[in-house]
Homo-oligomer: A and B are copies of this chain.
Amino acid sequence: MERPALPLGSPPTERADAVRNRKHLLATAREMLAEQCGADGLTMDGLAERAGLGKGTVFRRFGTRAGIFQALLEDDEHAFQEQVLAGPAPLGPGAAPLDRLIAYGRARVAFMIRHRDIARASLDGRQPIPAGTESPLSRTHIRMLLGQMRLDGADLEMLAIQLTAALDGPPLLYLSASDFTEPTGIEERIGQAWQDLLRRLCGT
């Protein structure tokens, strides 16, 4: 009756086998994705069997099919976030807030494009809570940088959400697969538009 409710380890302590199994399942899932080239074809039964575990275990760990992809994405996001928090400027600390924000957007777009399949597969219209983790990291970071900029009298919380959506939305929802296969340099184009958007936001 005295749970810290702090995000150190989800429950007070997570059992060792549980941790081991989760990692093993994620690794197996990556293998299957790499081999079968696509998120379809990754079934819960197939994953369980290949990992040598029971189906119940898979569902206990991830709750839902989309949950697996959310976990995969969260995992990669973690590595990405380290670059942002401790990497070289302008992405990492040391540059002016606006420059960091521009650099962050470009990096995030690249990340989203690279993980487009997983990110899309992590969407699940049945979960009432939107993806739970749908970029709280991104949103928090943007929020922090906005706080360091001189934006008088703006609702920074909401602005951060809107900018997060402006970053993730295009690759995730509004651009079709063909936009990325064509040799259009779509990544650079989104990045440039992001930069323009921010420049205007800050008054040139």
Contact = CB atoms under 8 A, between A and B. Distances in A.
Interface centre among A122, A134, A161, A192 (most CB of B within 10 A): A161
A154 B196 contact: yes
Contacts of A197: 159, 162, 201
Contacts of A200: 151, 154, 200-203
Contacts of A123: 123-125
Among A40, A120, A169, A177, max chain B CB count under 10 A is at A169
Interface string A156-176: 001101111110111011111
Task: Please classify the interface of chain A as helix (H, G, I), strand (E, B), loop, or mixed, using the class held by over half of its residues.
Answer: helix
A182 interface: no
A176 B161 CA distance: 12
Most buried by B among A168, A173, A174, A197: A174
A176 B39 CA distance: 26
A174 B167 CA distance: 13
A121 interface: yes
Contacts of A190: 158
Copies in the complex: 2
A201 to B, nearest CB: 5
Contacts of A162: 166, 169-170, 193-194, 197
A61 interface: no
Nearest to A121: B125
B161 A130 contact: no
A8 interface: no
- Which 4 A-B pairs rank lowest in CB-CB distance, beginning with the nearest? A165-B169, A158-B193, A123-B125, A162-B166
Given A161-B170, A164-B174, A168-B173, 19 more contacts: A69-B125, A120-B128, A122-B125, A123-B123, A130-B172, A130-B174, A155-B196, A158-B190, A158-B193, A159-B197, A162-B193, A165-B173, A165-B174, A166-B166, A169-B169, A200-B202, A200-B203, A201-B201, A203-B203
